[in-house]
A = this chain, B = another copy of it.
Amino acid sequence: MKIGIIGGSGYVGSELLRLLLMHPEVEVTMVTSRQNAGEFIFNMHPNLRGLTQLKFVPQDLSELQKNCDLIFTATPHGGSQTLVPPLLEAGLKVIDMSADFRLKNPADYETYYGWKHVQPEMLKQAVYGLPELHRDEIKSAQLIACPGCEATAAILGLAPLVRAGLVDPDKIVVDLKVGSSGGGSKPSVASHHPERSNGVRPYKVVGHRHIAEVEQELALLGGPVKVSFTPHAVNMVRGILATIHTFPKQPLTSKDLWRTLRGMYGNEPFIRLVKYLKGPYQLPDPKIVMGTNFCDVGFESDEHAGRLIMFSALDNMVKGAAGQGVQCLNILMGIDETTSLKSTGFHPI
């Protein structure tokens, strides 16, 4: 399959390239970049030196249509909604890495993103690209909206509980710790190394955009939920840990929980249930999944306070973005879902 990437100079583009250039069943034919057209890709992403001699090209839809079967759009939020329709009309498939087709309710774009969607009727057609929830729809989708990285961590940690109706749906507290690559490749004061290092900084504490997709997806599983969402920027480049504080409706045994988790994730190739009683890594830690498509999920019951705490850890660049996109691609192509996604992580890194 011939693949094009629109927006290849950013971090999601970088990670898509890493995974797709090594993918045995696809060929990357075109990678666009407005600012870097004409440059070797490996100059922007020096990890790819020696792997490809491709250069960035300008964003020309007719060329893309000619040379590609499927396009990954790794463009800023708000850009895909106009870019995608002509690609679909030309018969291409699209995996959109932006937020533009994730939400079903057009009004949510106004609430959470501050703009009115220009293609509201297309939202129904798009499939939310979280294989653990939508594998069957992904198989035959023409347009896949790849989930947000923080949303992926939150949904995967909560889905089994919400589906089984085990916790109070109105009191879900998602406290996230997020690496700096999640903010993208564009420098800013907040991401300036002297400002970002050595601290823990709450941000977007109210009204975070991923709330919309988390509540949308969880509602499909177990009815309406109310999620509060508190991300923190920590001193780490890759990785998200979602610590999810929930209030069980009634006391839950460890056995019940394992059964619930295994029931949903037992056959998932990229969900690992983590519980160990010794050493530093007893629960999920994003360090352990760095560079991989895994989402590690664990839990702890706090009897003292009547709480169930879920932990989910993933690499925001892989399972939180490009890896999830490639997982969707593999499903779409009907090939082994783990193709090009077998990296196991590092200890230590």
Contact = CB atoms under 8 A, between A and B. Distances in A.
Interface of A: 11, 14-15, 18, 21-22, 43-51, 170-173, 175, 177, 179-181, 183, 185, 187-203, 205-207, 211, 226-228, 230, 232, 234-239, 241, 243, 245, 247, 272, 274, 276, 278-292, 294, 296, 300-307, 309, 311, 313, 317, 342-349
B47 A346 contact: yes
A237 B276 contact: no
A290 B206 contact: no
A188 to B, nearest CB: 6
B237 A347 contact: no
A236 B194 CA distance: 8
A290 B243 CA distance: 25
A206 B245 contact: no
A346 B291 CA distance: 8
A71 B305 CA distance: 37
Contacts of A190: 279-280
Given A191-B194, A291-B349, A205 B241 contact: no
Contact of A18 (B46, B282, B344): B344
Given A187-B191, A235-B235, A290 B198 contact: yes
Of A201, A247, A288, A300, most B-chain CB atoms within 10 Å: A201
Contacts of A303: 206
A129 to B, nearest CB: 22
A316 to B, nearest CB: 11
Given A21-B344, A192-B192, A347-B14, A236 B198 contact: yes
Contacts of A239: 198-200
B193 A197 contact: yes
A307 B348 contact: no
A346 B322 CA distance: 12
A94 to B, nearest CB: 24
A236 B202 contact: no
B47 A307 contact: no
B304 A189 contact: no
A304 B207 contact: yes
B185 A194 contact: yes
Given A191-B192, A234-B235, A274 B243 contact: no
A270 to B, nearest CB: 9
Given A14-B347, A228-B245, A300-B206, A200 B305 contact: no
A195 B307 contact: no
A302 B206 contact: yes
Contact of A46 (B22, B245, B276, B305): B276
B291 A241 contact: no
A245 B175 contact: yes
Contact of A243 (B189, B232, B276, B283): B232
B180 A228 contact: no
